[in-house]
A and B are shown apart, each in its own frame.
Chain A
Amino acid sequence: MQDVVLAMLAKEPAHGYDLRTRLRAALGPLGEAMNAGQIYVTLGRLARAGLVTAERSAGLPDRPDRRVHTLTPAGQQRVTAWLTEVSWPKPDLTEFHLKLVSAAAAGLADPVALVDTQRREVLRRLRDAQRAALDRSVDPVAGLLLEGVVLRLRADLDWLEACERVWTRRD
């Protein structure tokens, strides 16, 4: 979140509420769940770390959302480093895999039934994301995020199908 807020300030100094609006627009339907206060907490931390400066704007009441935030040189450097850094979120399937293995070993539960329950949940999430993407008013750039969510969930469903195939044969 800190890196995201810094990068959004790289274009020009901005008010907190401005950043919030831009962030929500970029996230599309997924931005509706965003906590409104989070951006001000983040801006406070960045100011204390010396990465941004916050100045009162003339004629406006001194509230966190009314201050104008500007990147410091250290903040600029960090944005550059963030943009060139290669990172990618790892989906963690290990826990569910081990749940199946241990449930089967101990005879605690039928792994295929666990897979079924999981598939229903993934299917619901996929349905929600795809439904949000169906809305004709979704901006194409914000829609990309939904498409990414949908594609990942489809991969999860493919994997669950493979789990079911193998565990069914072991019964």
Chain B
Amino acid sequence: MTDPTVLRTRGLTRRYGRDSGLVRAVDDVDLDVPAGQTLAVMGPSGCGKSTLLHLLGGLQRPTAGEVWLAGNRIDTMSERALARLRRDSLGFVFQSFHLMDELTAVENVELAALLAGRPPRRARQRALHLLDRVGLADRATHLPSALSGGQRQRVAIARALSNEPQVVLADEPTGNLDSAATLEVLRLFEDLRAAGQTLVVVTHDARIAAVADRVVAMRDGAFADDTRLAGTVYGGRR
């Protein structure tokens, strides 16, 4: 039987500074994210939620504890192995989109696949398919500067999906968006949830709860509250 837990942490801890300046950004966190779950980690700025996401994505190393992705321990991996893992198994979505300004929407989406050595024609086909999935088929050749904030974030989400990631990790994905664009992104997350994509979102925006199976409140680096929202079955509602 395969382990249905995609992401697991044990005693996950990240400290900054020392002595009286010591900050426990993430403090002894145990977390299990089953396949297909949409998890929202919420809390005020400075509560450690971004650090947590970076640790989950192998962008930072923990001070102590373990991170497991699909049964593989990642916190002890070499930089090279981590880079390969991020490229092959994880999708990232950031508050400020992080698109390449000089590349078109479709070029941004296919870039990761090309860097991973996929044949250009297949990479392009998949990128076009993903842009269609996020409702931007008619914007494929636009530069990011010609797109609205909500459209740029949807391109970024298409890019995050380009490697068929085991987990999509999103950091304040609606932080720079107005209310209409937030709605677009929430609808897209709802589609991903319905399609069984495992998704971890750290955010200050409680509207994310609309598409979450589970909401964790984070305070001072630790989990203060863990809520499975009513009407949801653990592991998704498909």
User: A residues bordering B, Cβ < 8 Å?
Assistant: 116, 119-120, 123-124, 126-127, 130-131, 133-134, 136, 147, 150, 153-154, 157, 161, 164-165, 168
A119 touches B209 (CB 8 A): no
Point out the residue from A130, A147, A157, A168 that lies within 8 Å of B210, measured CB to CB.
Answer: A130
Q: Is B190 an interface residue (CB 8 A)?
A: yes
Q: Which residue on chain B has the smallest CB distance to residue A122?
A: B206
Min C-beta distance of A53 to chain B, whole Å: 43
Are B179 and A157 neighbours in the complex by a CB distance under 8 Å? no
Q: Mark B88-107, 1 if CB is under 8 A from A, else 0.
A: 00000000000000000000
A123→B229 CA distance, assembly (Å): 9
B227, A130: Cβ atoms closer than 8 Å: no
Residue in B closest to A132 when the chains form the complex, CB atoms: B210
Whether the pair B215, A136 counts as a contact (CB closer than 8 A) is no
What are 9 A-B contacts with C-beta separation under 8 Å?
Answer: A119-B225, A120-B225, A120-B227, A123-B215, A126-B210, A134-B183, A134-B211, A136-B187, A154-B207
Known: A116-B224, A123-B206, A123-B209. 9 other contacts (CB 8 A): A116-B217, A116-B225, A120-B227, A123-B229, A126-B207, A130-B207, A133-B183, A153-B206, A157-B206
B167 CB, min distance to chain A CBs, angstroms:
22
B230 at the binding interface (Cβ < 8 Å): yes
Q: Which residue of A lies closest to B187 (CB)?
A: A134
**Closest chain A CB from B220 CB (angstroms):** 9
Q: CB within 8 A of B44: which of A133, A150, A161?
A: A161
Classify the secondary structure of A's interface with B.
Answer: helix
B186 at the interface (CB under 8 A from A): yes
Docked Cα-Cα span, A29 to B204, in Å, equals 26
Write out the residue numbers on chain B whose beta carbons fall within 8 Å of the beta carbon of A161.
44
Residue of A nearest to B186 (CB): A134
The 3 closest A-B pairs by CB, nearest first: A130-B210, A127-B209, A131-B210
A119 — which chain B residues lie within 8 A by C-beta? 217, 225
The answer to whether residues A154 and B190 also contact, given A119-B217, A123-B227, A124-B229 and a CB cut-off of 8 A, is no
Chain A residues whose C-beta falls within 8 Å of the C-beta of B212 in the assembled complex: 127
Which among B179, B224, B225, B230 is the interface contact of A124 at CB below 8 angstroms?
B230
**Interface flags, B80-94, vs A, CB<8A=1, else 0:** 000000000000000
